[in-house]
Chain A
Amino acid sequence: MGPTEIKIGGLGGQGVILGGIIIGKAAALFDDKHSCLTQAFGPEARGSACSAQVVVDAEPILYPYVHNPHLMVAMSQDAFAKFSPELRKDGTLIIEEDLVKPTGLPSTVKVYAIPATRIAEELGKKMVLNIVMVGFFTAITGLVSEQAAREAVKDSVPPATIDLNMKAFDRGFAYGKQLLAGPKN
């Protein structure tokens, strides 16, 4: 099938890189696949554009960079504007629906939106929006198994926050499943 390229973009502080790590880890450690994550960030700790790039493949990965992602997650308008031209015409775009208004996309791109920040706020911690996104991504793309993604979340967050993060994952995952099952609009 060849490598699947994923790009996750957002603002520093949104947990973009951790989101990428969880997806990559799910594939490499808990599904029997290979993955490679690279990241781009500015010198600032927060507020600058950042992205995580993940390649997932059944074979060992040689070339680590993502140029034309099959799957893209945009968590800020800037990230959408900057990265969406790279997305394949038959690609899938996942967005934070309150933060990203997609424009100018080819009609062949499939777009899935989730109010991840609002859901995270309902759970009491805006910080977990990236885990909501990971749950949503898992449901929508099926690139990594639900089991692997759950293991990877548990393995990647501070122990004291596992329950909260699993709730965040579940909410995102359920939202995605519901969206897929629901009437086409």
Chain B
Amino acid sequence: MSNANPSGTLTGSHYLDGDHACSEGAIAAGCRFASGYPITPSTEVVERLSARFPRVGGRFIQLEDELGASIALLGAVWGGAKACTVTSGPGFSLMMEHIGYAAITETPCVYINVQRAGPSTGLPTQPAQGDMMQARFGSHGDYRLIALCPNSPQECFDLTVEAFNLAEEFRVPVLVMLDEVVGHMTEKVVIPPAEQIKVSERRYTKKKPGEGFKLFEAANGSMVPEMVKAGDGYRIHVTGLTHDDRGYPAMNVPTHEKMQLRLQDKIVENADRIVRWEEKDLDGADVVVVSFGITSRVAERAIKAAREQGVKVGSFRLITAWPFPEKQIAELSKKVKAFVVPELNLGQMALEVERVVAGRTKVVPVPHVGGTVHNPETILNKILESVR
């Protein structure tokens, strides 16, 4: 790990919305290329990047659509840049092809999705958290990635830095999954001095061209291969086809199995290093509210009210949605009477909680179609019902 580049880091206290905080997080993390096709409610991210990049040696390009936007950043990464793209629902759907391509080519990159209510064009200016399963399974085939869910502008900054770091560490696409409320909400954001912001740099091979470097061979005892960049004189092949350690297409089961399992295992077996959550009052809790993004803040009001009524309720906030903190939830499921899962969709992460809980205790979803946030009382009633 090294430190952020002081020239790009806007150290100080700012009053920023979540979208703008994401832009500053990207810049502090060393991102110097972004491609995009503006779409509400994510437009402010690229607006700020396009204004800030020229002053820090970065480049923003607006593409003809989200298909272009979601592949241009991958080209930039192979050219040596840290890069991201930014979108919302309809654009996120179009980007799925290339998120799969980024996964199979192990391209470290960041996709920021400011979620609005869908499906399709849905409610362009209004919030939802309906892309959570799409984040996990949206592209075809099996792959793993990392998805982070900030619940404040400050965390938009912090987790965007983190997203770039995780992308480099695991050579994987990382999704930053805001919702419209967090994206458009304005709060104080403190950007630390550059030397206090830890940044993971790309891990390039030390082997010279011709010394047998393999682009997809697990390196340094980890499951993550090292990289090279275009123009450095290596003969490399990057393809969406199933490939061997060198990157060459190999249409057979053993190669496919080896590649697939490593793509899975580099995330699954490192889950302890990746998974992040925030817990409150879990000791002795009868009910645990599992939530993320803006819903975690709405739920806090319900949790407070429930505690005032004598219910022992704690909170487990997902910071990584993917990988899901399954160990932690499984452990809790042995102790508590119920999980209450409010989210701005008709039940997505609740399915994951149910899967992990595996019938050991009750799981109570609190679905909401989106367009606005929950009424805290709805969550409160579910908490109260769950212990009756």
Contact = CB atoms under 8 A, between A and B. Distances in A.
A39 interface: yes
Interface string B181-198: 100111110000000000
A64 interface: yes
Contact of B184 (A38, A43, A62): A38
Contacts of B14: 29
Given A28-B15, A29-B188, A37-B186, A63 B124 contact: no
A37 B125 contact: no
B179 to A, nearest CB: 12
B15 A29 contact: yes
Nearest to A38: B185
B256 interface: no
Interface stretch (B268-276, B297-305, B341-349, B354-362): B297-305
Contacts of A35: 187-188
Contact of B187 (A28, A39, A65, A152): A28
Given A41-B125, A43-B124, A43-B125, A64 B13 contact: no
A38 B181 contact: yes
A7 interface: no
B282 interface: no
B187 A29 contact: no
A37 B187 contact: yes
Interface string B1-44: 00000000000011101000000000000000000000010000
Nearest to A53: B185
Given A28-B15, A29-B15, A43-B125, A62 B301 contact: yes
A64 B125 contact: no
B259 interface: no
Contact of B186 (A24, A62, A63, A152): A24
Contact of B185 (A25, A34, A43, A64): A64
Nearest to B13: A29
A24 B16 CA distance: 11
Contacts of B125: 41-43
A21 interface: yes
Given A28-B15, A29-B188, A38-B185, A65 B124 contact: no
Given A38-B181, A38-B184, A63 B300 contact: yes
B63 to A, nearest CB: 22
B42 to A, nearest CB: 15
A72 B32 CA distance: 42
Nearest to A67: B375
A167 B184 CA distance: 30
Among all A-B residue pairs, the 8 with the closest Cβ atoms: A25-B15, A37-B186, A28-B188, A62-B300, A63-B301, A62-B297, A36-B187, A38-B185
28 contacts: A24-B15, A28-B188, A29-B13, A29-B14, A29-B188, A35-B187, A35-B188, A36-B185, A36-B186, A36-B187, A37-B17, A37-B185, A38-B181, A38-B184, A38-B185, A38-B186, A43-B125, A62-B297, A62-B300, A62-B301, A63-B297, A63-B298, A63-B301, A63-B376, A64-B181, A64-B185, A64-B297, A152-B15
Interface of A: 21, 24-25, 28-29, 34-39, 41-43, 61-65, 152
